[in-house]
Copies of this chain bind each other. A is one copy, B any other.
Amino acid sequence: MYNPAQKISKDMMKQMNQKLVLRILKEKGSASKSELSKITGLTLPAITDIMTELELYQVIENLGESRIKRGRFPTLFQLKKEVFHVIGVSIRSESIRVGLYNILGETMAYTETALPENTDPETMMERVNEVIQVVIQKYEVGSLNILGIGLGMHGIVNPMEGISVYPPHLQWENVPIRQLLENKTKLPVLVDNDCNSLTLAEYWFGKGENLNSFITINVDYGVGAGIMIDSQLFHGRNYGAGQIGHTIIQDNGPLCSCGNYGCLETLSSELSIAGQARSKIKQGFPSLLKERYTDVNHVTITDIYDAAHNNDKLASNILEEASRYLGIGLSTLANVFNPEKIIITGGILRGKQSVMDPLIESFYTHALKTNVEDFEITTSGLGAKADVLGAATLWVEHVFKGDFPLSKAGKEGIT
Question: Which residue numbers of A lie inside 8 Å of B, CB to CB?
Answer: 1-3, 5-10, 12-13, 16-17, 20, 23-24, 39-42, 156, 165-166, 210-213, 225, 227, 229-232, 234-244, 246-251, 253, 258, 260, 325, 328, 331-333, 335-340, 365-366, 368, 370-371, 373-375
Partner of A3, one of B1, B211, B332, B366: B211
- Is A241 touching B337 in the complex (CB atoms < 8 A)? yes
* Contacting residues, chain B, for A227 (C-beta < 8 A): 336
- Is B212 touching A373 in the complex (CB atoms < 8 A)? no
- Is B238 touching A229 in the complex (CB atoms < 8 A)? no
Partner of A10, one of B13, B166, B337: B13
Most buried by B among A231, A244, A248: A248
Chain B residue at smallest Cβ distance from A335: B243
Between A and B, 21 residue pairs with Cβ closer than 8 Å are A1-B211, A1-B212, A1-B340, A3-B211, A5-B23, A6-B20, A7-B17, A8-B12, A213-B237, A225-B336, A229-B229, A236-B371, A240-B371, A241-B336, A241-B337, A243-B371, A244-B335, A248-B249, A248-B366, A250-B250, A333-B336
- Is A368 touching B258 in the complex (CB atoms < 8 A)? yes
CA A43 – CA B129 in complex, angstroms? 45
Report the copy number of this chain in the oligomer: 2
* Contacting residues, chain B, for A3 (C-beta < 8 A): 210-212, 231
Chain B residue at smallest Cβ distance from A332: B247
Q: Is the interface of A mostly helix, strand, loop or mixed?
A: loop
* Contacting residues, chain B, for A248 (C-beta < 8 A): 249, 328, 331-332, 366
CA A337 – CA B368 in complex, angstroms? 20
CA A24 – CA B6 in complex, angstroms? 11
Chain B residue at smallest Cβ distance from A259: B365
CA A198 – CA B234 in complex, angstroms? 23
- Is B210 touching A338 in the complex (CB atoms < 8 A)? no
Partner of A40, one of B1, B7, B250, B332: B7
- Is A41 touching B7 in the complex (CB atoms < 8 A)? yes
Query: Taking A3-B211, A156-B370 as contacts, is the C-beta distance between A234 and B229 under 8 angstroms?
Result: yes
CA A370 – CA B9 in complex, angstroms? 36
Query: Taking A6-B20, A17-B7, A332-B248 as contacts, is the C-beta distance between A338 and B212 under 8 angstroms?
Result: no
Output the least CB separation between A187 and chain B (Å): 30
- Is B370 touching A166 in the complex (CB atoms < 8 A)? yes
- Is B210 touching A236 in the complex (CB atoms < 8 A)? no
Q: A10-B10, A246-B335, A251-B328 are in contact. List 6 more A-B contacts (CB 8 A).
A: A2-B210, A3-B212, A9-B13, A239-B338, A248-B331, A250-B250
* Contacting residues, chain B, for A213 (C-beta < 8 A): 236-237
- Is B246 touching A338 in the complex (CB atoms < 8 A)? no
* Contacting residues, chain B, for A211 (C-beta < 8 A): 1, 3
- Is B42 touching A7 in the complex (CB atoms < 8 A)? yes
Partner of A20, one of B5, B24, B253, B258: B5
Query: Taking A7-B17, A247-B336 as contacts, is the C-beta distance between A371 and B238 under 8 angstroms?
Result: yes
- Is A236 touching B338 in the complex (CB atoms < 8 A)? yes
Most buried by B among A3, A227, A232: A3
Output the least CB separation between A37 and chain B (Å): 10
CA A24 – CA B210 in complex, angstroms? 34
CA A41 – CA B232 in complex, angstroms? 25
* Contacting residues, chain B, for A366 (C-beta < 8 A): 248, 260
CA A325 – CA B1 in complex, angstroms? 29
CA A374 – CA B1 in complex, angstroms? 10
Partner of A249, one of B23, B244, B251: B251
CA A237 – CA B229 in complex, angstroms? 9
* Contacting residues, chain B, for A225 (C-beta < 8 A): 336
